[in-house]
Structure 1
Amino acid sequence: MTTTATEAIGDLLQELTEAWNDGDAERYASAFTEDADPTRNSVISLTAVLTEVGWRFASFQNTRVSDPKAAR
């Protein structure tokens, strides 16, 4: 049985979420390529790439959401 890229990336995102919820930093980090730099918890965008060991996240864009009323 083969896994589609969409399914594999969905599994990887689930793994990332479960590791975060479990407070497991090693498991969380293992979902990323060695040169990725995940940071704050806001609205995020992830870029997944297929590596020799399977799908891994190569980038983590963290966009902070601000209250437009606070800027006034």
Structure 2
Amino acid sequence: MTATKTIAAASGEGQFNAYYAEPEGSPKAAIIVIQEIFGVNAGIRRKCDTLAEAGYLAVAPDLFHKIAPGIEL
């Protein structure tokens, strides 16, 4: 299952989105996928999906949420 979820910032100030790709059944582990300068684009989402197919929970947070939320280049 894939989805974009909203996460509350640890500082308590605001929130940001992250792409989640969950495997069928229980995940082996969780992997944080760090985006390139291009944002959480199709390539990053595909990488998460591939990891989920291999049995991992993959999460790609939007690291640019404060300056350009949701940017995809």
TM-score (norm 1): 0.29
The structure whose RCO (Cα within 8 Å, separation 6+) is larger is 2
Structure 1 or 2, whichever has the larger Rg, is 1
Structure having the larger proportion of residues in helix: 1
TM-score (norm 2): 0.29
